[in-house]
Every structure is written in C-alpha cells, then in structure tokens.
Chain A
Amino acid sequence: NAGVMQNPRHLVRRRGQEARLRCSPMKGHSHVYWYRQLPEEGLKFMVYLQKENIIDESGMPKERFSAEFPKEGPSILRIQQVVRGDSAAYFCASSPGSGGLDEQYFGPGTRLTVT
C-alpha cells in the first residue's frame, strides 16, 4: 500500500523559470492538500483540492501559483516565474474522507531551490 508520492524530491530552478510539483495521493484518497514549509517555520496551508475541483485556495499567493487535481493523474502545484522567496519544502497530504474529517497523510515533500 504505497503512501503519498511526490516528485521530484529536489528541484532547482533559476529565477523566472517555472516549477511543477507533482503529488499522487494514497490509493483510495480523493482529497489533496498542499502545504509549504519555509526554513525554521511550521507548515502553512496553501490549497485543498478534490478531483477536478479547488475547494479552498485561501493560502495560495494571488499571483504565479496555481494548483489542479485532474480526473486522471496526479495533483500539480505550479509556480510560474519563480523568485528566491519561493525556495521552500512543499508537502502534499491526502485524506480519504470528506474534507477534514480524517487524518491527513503526508508525502516526503519536494524541496525547491531557486538560484
């Protein structure tokens, strides 16, 4: 029973490039959350998605960031025109049930470094 999978594990981008982070939830899970952890800080909520729907994007920066969870395939967090301040660990979590009523299980994270 595979856990939450994220790839790539490490991603290096130059300023101005695009970053695409992928998350495959646990089997049977249809709810995906994205969190960001800046150095020396806790995880901060970014966005909550169900298949083909964004449920809550209150934690997403208004510009350059977008997320999707298509009917088929992984969830994608996309960051356009990256800046140094985007350097962080990005974690995806999934849960099986209706939003928030179940524990969230986290993937290993993608560490984004912007040079």
Chain B
Amino acid sequence: DQQVKQNSPSLSVQEGRISILNCDYTNSMFDYFLWYKKYPAEGPTFLISISSIKDKNEDGRFTVFLNKSAKHLSLHIVPSQPGDSAVYFCAASARYGGTSYGKLTFGQGTILTVHP
C-alpha cells in the first residue's frame, strides 16, 4: 500500500529553467510534508517542509505547494542548476494524529537531471 507516490521516476531539465517535481498521497492523517534531496552513497538531505495549515512555503530557489483537497504537493526549483541533479524524495508524516509518532513515509523518488 503505497501511501506516498511519486509517479515520475525521472525528470530532465535545462539549466536556468524551472523543475517541477510532483507527489501524491492517500492518507488523510498526514499533516506535515517534506522534501529531501539525495546524492548516491549519501543520506537524504532535508530541503524544505510544509505544514497542512499552509498551501505554500518558500526558501530561496525552492518552493513547495500543497493542495490538500487533491492530496497533492509539488516542489518547484527555479532557476534549476546542474548541482541540483540528484534524487528527490517527498515524505509525509502524521504529527498530531494517530499513533505514527512522526515517522516519515517516503515516495519512491524522482531522479532530476539538470543539463548545462
């Protein structure tokens, strides 16, 4: 039962353009969403998060949008840079509901390649 899905295994973008990575979830108990970036042979690095009381959060070149009614979130990177090439994971947690104790449920990841 895949509660968090990233339906695009890969995305290729030209340097300077916008990268849009998408993520869908099914569990309505999720109230906190995060994006992580991962290079090969390294651990995931936290990028940006959003609480379910917001619909947008911005940090420099990174913006996360949340559409609760559609159970969909997206990460926008603009402008994209070659150093952004990595695997991007979205993750979700139910911080205040149920007994999940904040454990993260991850999507399968999207490989982003930014071409110079």
| A interface residues (Cβ-Cβ under 8 A, vs B) | 4, 6, 33, 35, 40-45, 48, 55-56, 58-59, 91, 93, 95, 99-101, 103-109, 111
B95 touches A108 (CB 8 A): no
Tally the A-B contacts, defined by beta carbons under 8 Å: 70
- Provide 14 A-B residue pairs closer than 8 Å at the C-beta atoms, listed in order of the A residue: A6-B43, A35-B104, A42-B107, A42-B108, A42-B109, A45-B104, A56-B101, A99-B101, A100-B95, A100-B100, A100-B103, A101-B95, A108-B41, A109-B41
Specify the chain A residue showing the minimal Cβ separation from B106.
Answer: A42
Given A42-B106, A56-B100, A101-B95, also A109-B43 (CB < 8 A): yes
Prevailing SS type, chain B contact patch:
loop
Contact in complex: B105, A103 (CB < 8 Å) = no
Select which of B42, B93, B108 is within 8 A of A100 by beta carbon: B93
Given A33-B104, A56-B100, 15 further pairs, Cβ under 8 A: A42-B6, A43-B106, A44-B106, A45-B103, A45-B105, A48-B101, A59-B103, A95-B102, A100-B32, A101-B95, A103-B46, A105-B46, A108-B41, A109-B42, A111-B41
Known: A41-B108, A100-B95. A33 touches B103 (CB 8 A): yes
Which B-chain residue is minimally distant from A111 (CB atoms)?
Answer: B41
* Shortest beta-carbon distance from A67 to chain B in Å: 13
Write the nearest CB–CB distance from A45 to chain B, whole angstroms.
4
Residues of A within 8 A of B101 (CB): 48, 55-56, 99-100
Q: Encode contact with A along B82-98: 1 for CB under 8 Å, 0 otherwise.
A: 00000001010111000
| Chain B interface, number of residues (Cβ within 8 angstroms) | 28
- B107 to chain A: which residues have CB within 8 Å? 42
Please report the C-alpha to C-alpha distance between residue A43 and residue B104 in the assembled complex, in whole angstroms: 9
What residues of chain A lie closer than 8 Å to B6, measured between beta carbons? 42
- Is B99 among interface residues, defined by CB-CB distance under 8 A? yes
Give the residue of B41, B49, B89 whose beta carbon is less than 8 angstroms from that of A103: B49
B79 contacts chain A at the CB level, 8 A cutoff = no
Q: Is the CB of A99 within 8 A of B43?
A: no
Chain B residues with CB under 8 A of A58: 103
With most chain B CB atoms within 10 A of its CB, the pick from A93, A100, A108 is: A100
